[in-house]
């Protein structure tokens, strides 16, 4: 029983420590990497060809397809762990459930359900649209409902193609939609808020850390409430992180916030050609 509570504490502490460390060590390296430079070149080309909104649509569609391409084989691989990982974890938790703690987890895990997140989406879209009056006020009204729809149908595709079944106590399957929805909804709200109001870097890192903690706690509650296998939750974290990254990039492209790669001003080398007579 102590192990279950320790896992609950780790669900809070691990992202609280890991995210700020990644933000200070890993994020700058990624931003300056060759892959990031190539991505900026690709975005610049798409924007030149289709405009910012067209490029954002291409990013969202192609990115969602790429997420399916990655998470489909991942789901098949995680399914093979079901007898060795999911069943023992489920039986361990089921045998040690405490009614009071189960009630707390059932209450907390509901934040990842579609119904409350619909209201979060609507309210956030209206508030941000008012804050964007002097800009493209319709952007939050499009982006926030769109993220909800994209997550729902992309998850449905993965659910159908992987088709791994569910625990005997609930219908939750791969990938965990609760984890993905929390990350996708609040991640999109966070990037729109950062585009609306000036936030110091420390505040942005704190908000991202809080979001990561919320997502890991959601995963913990999904397992304890017996709504998902453990590997469904792991898959939901990965799926949600990838799809949120795609949505955030699409919003940044639509707003023209992806920095255009610098072109070299050095003259191109000339080949000396000797023409014989």
> Residue 143's closest CA among 115, 122, 158?
122
Residue 265, pLDDT > 60, answer no
The model carries a pTM of 0.91
Burial class of residue 85 (count of CB atoms within 10 Å of its CB; 0-12, 13-18, 19+): middle
Cα–Cα separations (whole angstroms), residue 230 to 22, 163, 263? 25, 16, 47
Please state the domain extents for the chain: 71-246
Residue 114, pLDDT > 90, answer yes
State percent of the chain over pLDDT 70.
Answer: 94
When the pLDDT of each residue in the chain is averaged and rounded to a whole number, the result is 91
Cα–Cα separations (whole angstroms), residue 173 to 66, 126, 153? 21, 32, 14
Q: How much is the pLDDT for 264?
A: 45
> Are the beta carbons of 234 and 170 closer than 8 angstroms?
no
Q: Give the pLDDT mean for 218-245.
A: 96
Alpha-carbon span 139 to 145, nearest angstrom: 10
Q: What is the pLDDT of residues 169-202, one digit of tens each?
A: 999 999 999 999 999 999 999 999 999 998 999 9
Residue 268, pLDDT > 60, answer no
Q: How much is the pLDDT for 117?
A: 96
> Are the beta carbons of 149 and 188 closer than 8 angstroms?
no
Angle between helices 2-31 and 34-79 (to 10 degrees): 150
Residue found under tokens 């079944």: 165
Residue 133, pLDDT > 80, answer no
Alpha-carbon span 121 to 77, nearest angstrom: 33
Residue 135, pLDDT > 90, answer no
> Residue 139's closest CA among 129, 124, 127?
129
Alpha-carbon span 152 to 181, nearest angstrom: 8
């Amino acid at each position: 029983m102590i192990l279950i509570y320790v896992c609950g504490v780790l669900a809070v502490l691990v992202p609280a420590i890991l995210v700020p460390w990644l933000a200070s060590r890993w994020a700058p390296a990624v931003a300056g990497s060759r892959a990031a430079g190539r991505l900026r070149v690709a975005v610049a080309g798409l924007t030149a060809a289709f405009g910012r909104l067209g490029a954002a649509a291409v990013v969202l569609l192609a990115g969602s397809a790429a997420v399916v391409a990655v998470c489909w084989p991942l789901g098949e691989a995680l399914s093979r762990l079901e007898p060795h990982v999911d069943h023992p974890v489920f039986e361990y938790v089921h045998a040690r459930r405490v009614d009071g703690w189960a009630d707390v987890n059932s209450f907390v895990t509901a934040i990842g359900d579609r119904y409350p997140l619909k209201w979060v989406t609507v309210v956030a879209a209206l508030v941000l649209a008012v804050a964007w009056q002097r800009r493209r006020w319709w952007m939050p009204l499009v982006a926030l409902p769109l993220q909800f729809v994209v997550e729902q149908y992309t998850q449905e595709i993965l659910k159908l193609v992987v088709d791994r079944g569910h625990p005997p106590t609930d219908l939750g399957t791969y990938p965990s939609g609760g984890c993905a929805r929390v990350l996708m909804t609040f991640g999109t709200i966070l990037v729109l808020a950062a585009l609306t109001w000036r936030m110091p870097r420390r505040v942005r890192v704190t908000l991202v850390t809080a979001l990561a903690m919320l997502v890991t706690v959601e995963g913990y509650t999904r397992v304890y409430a017996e709504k998902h296998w453990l590997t469904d939750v792991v898959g939901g974290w990965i799926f949600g992180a990838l799809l949120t990254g795609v949505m955030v990039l699409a919003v940044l492209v639509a707003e023209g916030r992806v920095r255009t790669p610098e072109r070299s001003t050095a003259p191109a080398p000339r080949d000396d050609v000797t023409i014989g007579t």
